[in-house]
Structure 1
Amino acid sequence: MKALSVLVVLFATVLALPMASAAPASETLRACRLGALRHELLCGRLTRPLDPARPSGPMIELHYAVIPAAARSKHPDPVFVLAGGPGQSAVSLAGNMLALLQRLNNRRDLVLIDQRGTGRSAPLVCESDESLSLAERLDSARAIQRLRACRTRLQALPHGDLRFYTTTIAMADVDAVREALGAPQINLVGASYGTRAALEYLRLYPGRVRRAVLDGVAPPDMVLPASMATDVHHALEALFSDCEHDPACNRRRPDLRARWQGLLDSLPREFSVADPASGEPTSITLTAETLGAAVRGPLYAPALASALPFAIDEAAAGRAMPLFGLATSLGGGVRATRIAEGMHFSVVCAEDYPLWMLQKTQVPASNVFAQAFARPYAELCRDWPRGAVEPAYYTIGPSAAPVLVFSGGLDPVTPPRHGERVTQALGARARHVVVANAGHGVMSIGCARDVLQRFIDASTHAEALAVDVACLAGLPRPPAFEPARAAAVLPAGAPR
């Protein structure tokens, strides 16, 4: 689940979901080109009711792209890619997905749908904060105020009733695309929030799923703001523990945990850093809230997290630039990873927030990440319009289709504990693969894309579930980063 910025992230009866009639595929698809992709694709759109209970009410356009199979004799079951966030455009990921799933694309179409509220499908996007100074972007009160103003602006749009962007409604849209393409069954590939979407599609339309791959499971009942604070805290604790048990890291940073606590105890604290947008030196006030947000991002990717011991040590010594450099290294500002904030909060506030209030899940006050994530969500969701969510949405039953579940052992937001619980609920046709030293997202690591391809291409359920995953076992954790500087140049007793 991608961060929204350095500070703010980065969720009875069955609701009737009447489906708008879809035109035949030949009438909905046209040749198109996306971004830097060399090959021509097919782009389609469907007209869908904003409120499924009012098929004659306001309508939205649902946009999607098809990367046609390379072979003339292709399989009838395409691969549907469900994006993360919530709030990420799937179509904007076409280049990445083609590179990741190219072998599958030999015999199967790849289908990417801009879920309602994202991309070109009734977008709920707030104004960018890139023009603001770093100090302004780190101001949590200003960020919350900006998002509330955005909500007011979005509500004035023709598609601005924010109650109708839930995962359940969105999966009815996905099935409408399946019908338009004439596919009797589909294969689902979902990552992060996309796994929640895939689980909901599997619940609503079990007979239409042939295979499913879930990478970094975000179950419907995870209560995102509370679980995120807990899971990021555990990921940081694991980083400290690994440093203590790694001779090289422990030799260089023998008191890393104490340095972290000392940094926390010194806050709020003034630092001079270079503004990433202008390069000009600027003064910022580091609070526990901004520190938690800055640390969370690098923990997503072990290669970036390997520099956190150095960055934390530097910040404790009064030099915060390495920490903020890391915090802005995870795709910030890149169009393909842009989050539609209005859609994000419409999902989380409808699906996670009520469950959070019902369970009264408490995060210890000593958890710095609670201040960074739980509090902003609580403030924004308190008065955000919330769609109806049926109780059955939070249940996961046995799956008739084989499901391959990936978890990264170092993942700070969808760690293996979520994947294990979901795998058990899915039953005998689900398999959980934990890659010990992977972070948030496993599919793109090493041989994982080959495992995914063999799982979907397998002829039988038994062959799919028996796919060999041994190639993922030896992935090492990147060693702790140390800048290239000659020890002999440093004066005796100088901090290293």
Structure 2
Amino acid sequence: MRQLHATSAGVATGVLITGLLATPAHAEHGIGMGIGMGRSTGTGATIGTATRTAGDARFVPGPCPKTADPIPALKGARCGTLTVPENRARPNGRTITLGVAIVPAATSTPKPDPIVWLAGGPGDDAVGEAQMAIDGGLNRDRDVIFMSQRGTYSADPVLTCPNIDEFNARAVGLVHDAPSTERLHVQATRTCRDQLAARGADLSAYNDTESAADYADLRVALGIDQWNVFGISYGTHLALIYMRQHPQGIRSVGIDGILPPSTAGSALTWSSARQGFDGLFKACAEQPACNRRYPNLSATFERLVRELEAHPVTTTVTVPGHPQPVKVVLDGGALVNWMTSATHVAPGVPRSLDELAHGNPQRIAEQWAGGKLSPQAFGRTAHGLAYGVFCSEWVPYESRAEALRGGREAFPSFPRSVLAQAPQLTFLRPDCAVWNVPAAPRSIRDVTRSDIPTLALSGGFDSQTGAANGPYVARTLSRATVVTVPYEPHVVFASSQCAQEITLSFFDNPTAPKTGCLTGLKPPRFEN
């Protein structure tokens, strides 16, 4: 999951943590110009090589979308733009354009039903995630389609706010959940909103209902009779709404790092953190060398949260690319948020916590600051889309008391000041008060009921979208396969060859994916 005013870069290793609450919601320029060979669709048309319309939407072939970093996977892609109404309730209003890239199948005899990729976030650009998809073999025998969700990096307009990213970098030197930090945090949000509104953006139109309609229009505009959907992290939230609101033409749906729209919010974020942390702590306890070296790791972590909340630790660290020392303040809230991302580099977590418990905060401080000051944390997240989702679909349907109760149930020993700010959603309620968009219809929180074959993938160490979300959504998906890959963090497709094999076998046979690779998976070797 992603974090409002959080980190998008990997902890210590530079690995990009993709998806909702994993990259900052407060948180690409290679150009792929190839046209490539066309792929036939069920209608005999060619995907991505002709101008086509779908209602008020229009696809026009053209150059590949901009990306912040060069993406080799886009070499040979067929590209263009989809133009759609910004707000479908205002048919004569302005239009917006979304970048589209179609990476051809690796085989010369591709399957006729492509895969469309739904990015994490909210606010990540799908085109920027193309390398992850192709490195995982997703285009083995199908074209894979990437479209920049409205407001994201390669869309027009783009709803990024550099001032928020700059605040995130400065915030590592502030007490995480102090009232003074809240005032600065909310001011950054207000400034972002004012800037986007001044550019003419209808901020109420950046949400899942409009985005789902964009994808429905894209399928028709590309002349595709049937396709498959694969969403990661926040993209699972969008996928579940898309398959409920526009089921036509969807052959199968894969969701990885699952965020149910019916329960999304602070309480669920606390529950996910508990599940991911416990998974990691249990793996250490079951590994004799780790258990001897770091006994009672869960109790140590919770004690550190309480102690740091009462007495924050201030230190300075050196961050790559920043010659001057960086001030870092670690309090209880900062430690919880660090831990939520640190499950991506699980082997080092026990050692890092032990060093902190023995008076050495440097490693955790370097990781905490390194993520927020990484180049990947600047200018890439569409905060306008993130707040559009959070403030219209989440906050109106979860009370402050419900959010606090969720935190207390997950971590009863935490101080109230820590529980008041869910991990990765710090100050979300006052942020939404200044964002000031209407609540979505209550139906946005409905469970998705469907007989579309669905693969529900989770990681046993996922502290951002807990593994329990898989069985939860499957209750109303009559043809769902639920898979938890042990010892893996958020978005298992990015880190697990086994998860990639399961996903590819699912698209081959959506009712009977091969899961044999799960047998014999072993926990990581934790650092001494």
- Tell me the TM-score normalized by structure 1: 0.84
SS in 2 for 1:315: helix
Q: Which residue matches 2:185?
A: 143
Bigger Rg, which one: 1
Q: After superposition, what is the alpha-carbon deviation per residue over 1:346-401, rounded to whole angstroms, capped at 9, x for unaligned?
A: 11111111111298342327444653535511221223232452333322344232
Q: Which residue matches 2:40?
A: none
Which residue, 474, 484, 487 being the options, matches 1:437? Answer: 487
Identical amino acids, percent of aligned pairs:
30
Higher mean displacement: 468-477 or 134-143: 134-143
Q: Which residue matches 1:379?
A: 430
C-alpha separation in 1, matches of 2:206 and 2:164:
24
Higher mean displacement: 233-242 or 51-60: 233-242
Mapped pair 1:196 → 2:228? no
Q: Which residue matches 2:127?
A: 91
Q: Which residue matches 1:351?
A: 393
Q: Which residue matches 1:116?
A: 150
Which residue, 437, 456, 476 being the options, matches 2:522? Answer: 476
Higher mean displacement: 286-295 or 404-413: 286-295
C-alpha separation in 2, matches of 1:194 and 1:133:
24
C-alpha separation in 2, matches of 1:438 and 1:431:
18
C-alpha separation in 2, matches of 1:479 and 1:328:
25
1:420 Cα deviation after fit? 0.4
Asked if structure 2 preserves the Cα contact closer than 8 Å seen for 1:410 and 1:436, the reply is yes
Higher mean displacement: 393-402 or 57-66: 393-402
1:178 Cα deviation after fit? 0.8
1:192 Cα deviation after fit? 0.8
Asked if structure 1 preserves the Cα contact closer than 8 Å seen for 2:317 and 2:365, the reply is no
Q: Which residue matches 2:314?
A: 271
Mapped pair 1:210 → 2:251? yes
C-alpha separation in 1, matches of 2:119 and 2:419:
25
Q: In structure 2, do the counterparts of structure 1 residues 466 and 52 end up closer, same or farther at CA, with 3 Å as the change threshold?
A: same
Structure 1 residues without counterparts, runs of 5 or longer: 12-18, 459-463, 483-496
- Partner amino acid, structure 2, of 1:30: G
Q: In structure 2, do the counterparts of structure 1 residues 291 and 107 end up closer, same or farther at CA, with 3 Å as the change threshold?
A: closer
- Tell me the TM-score normalized by structure 2: 0.80
Q: Which residue matches 1:29?
A: 61
C-alpha separation in 1, matches of 2:166 and 2:445:
40
Q: Which residue matches 2:160?
A: 125
Q: In structure 2, do the counterparts of structure 1 residues 237 and 73 end up closer, same or farther at CA, with 3 Å as the change threshold?
A: closer
1:126 Cα deviation after fit? 1.1
Q: After superposition, what is the alpha-carbon deviation per residue over 1:145-170, rounded to whole angstroms, capped at 9, x for unaligned?
A: 22221121111112x22111110111
Q: Which residue matches 1:173?
A: 214
Q: In structure 2, do the counterparts of structure 1 residues 328 and 77 end up closer, same or farther at CA, with 3 Å as the change threshold?
A: farther
- Partner amino acid, structure 2, of 1:109: D
CA RMSD of aligned residues (A): 2.9
Higher mean displacement: 230-239 or 333-342: 333-342
- Partner amino acid, structure 1, of 2:504: Q
Asked if structure 1 preserves the Cα contact closer than 8 Å seen for 2:160 and 2:380, the reply is no
- Partner amino acid, structure 2, of 1:108: R
Asked if structure 1 preserves the Cα contact closer than 8 Å seen for 2:114 and 2:227, the reply is yes
Asked if structure 2 preserves the Cα contact closer than 8 Å seen for 1:22 and 1:179, the reply is no
Q: After superposition, what is the alpha-carbon deviation per residue over 1:402-451, rounded to whole angstroms, capped at 9, x for unaligned?
A: 11111112211212211101011111x11101112221112231232222
Structure 2 residues without counterparts, runs of 5 or longer: 9-20, 26-53, 175-180
C-alpha separation in 2, matches of 1:337 and 1:135:
15
C-alpha separation in 2, matches of 1:73 and 1:262:
58
C-alpha separation in 2, matches of 1:296 and 1:279:
28
C-alpha separation in 2, matches of 1:333 and 1:5:
15
SS in 1 for 2:116: strand
1:336 Cα deviation after fit? 10
1:20 Cα deviation after fit? 4.4
C-alpha separation in 2, matches of 1:390 and 1:359:
22
Mapped pair 1:229 → 2:274? no
Q: In structure 2, do the counterparts of structure 1 residues 70 and 283 end up closer, same or farther at CA, with 3 Å as the change threshold?
A: closer
C-alpha separation in 2, matches of 1:479 and 1:42:
43
Which residue, 307, 321, 329 being the options, matches 1:285? Answer: 329
